[in-house]
Amino acid sequence: MRATCFNLWLHYARLKPKEGIDSMNSLYFGAVAIGSYMLATGMMIKGFNTDYAAEADSAHQRRRILGVAWLAAGLHAFSIWPIFHSAAGINFSFLSAAALTALVVVLLLLLTAISKPVDKLGIVVFPAASLLLLLDIALPEDVYVVKTNSWRMDVHIFVSMLSYSLLNIAAIQAVLLALQDWQLRTRHVNRFTRALPPLQTMETLLFQLIGVGFGLLSVSLLSGLMFLENLFTQHLAHKTVLSILAWIVFAVLLWGRAYRGWRGQVAIRWTLGGFFSLMLAYFGSKMVLEIILDRV
């Protein structure tokens, strides 16, 4: 019965017969990855609602959560590989690109959590990654293959994804910082806010993330100007302009931090504004072209 239902799913998803095994593996790996993401999220929520008797218990729980999250990320990678990669090139259709970006965000979060107190961002990142992975493996879409004929193009794509993912984490950090600041001002502090690092630490971490993300975004734009001959053609002009606008926003924010001491709500608004522009550049126009206008 289960095999019959899965064959029907393959039929309606219009997958080629030779892709059936890879698609089945993607489905199984993806299902376990989604379950692992939700388990990590549930463990994190339980931790917010539990008063630990000792700091060692809290550290042990944190390691368990991160361990489950690493497992989810590994399964996530196995799940999207057959969908994302093909002999013809890299599949950069909307949902495949979104699922890959979600994986990069998760991996960067987990790597950063080794030395920085950013693991609480998983309360947003893990459910979002599971949702995007679910959409990618469950919804059929046309394949949009990008052929990378040189290492320069590979570098440009890789750095672009890293910069977007890091600034994505910074945007989530800014939202949590805004929530923390508001609760401290109104004196309505809940368990979740108490579990976050101190406000000053959160703010310092935010600008560290923005600084690294801004540097990678600069490399991404520079490599695009150097290696892509058609960067300002009609197909890419809107993405380029929005990316440059985001670069300007983050540059002004870092300047304001260094020379005007910007912090708090001002820093949060500029961070979210820059990320919104970058999100439109990476995914907004892509969604309009591929999903609404049905063209690439």
The runs of H, that is alpha helices, within 85-150 are 94-112, 122-138
Structure tokens at 129: 């990654």
Structure tokens at 246: 């985001």
How much is the pTM?
0.80
Is the Cβ–Cβ distance between 170 and 206 less than 8 Å?
Answer: yes
Structure tokens at 81: 């590989």
pLDDT of residue 118: 87
Structure tokens at 204: 């310092």
| Residue 123 CB coordination number (10 Å) | 18
Average confidence (pLDDT) over 148-157: 72
Per the model's pLDDT, the better-predicted residue between 17 and 251 turns out to be: 251
Residue-wise pLDDT for 43-71, tens only, equals: 988 877 655 434 555 778 888 999 999 99
Is the Cβ–Cβ distance between 234 and 251 less than 8 Å?
Answer: no
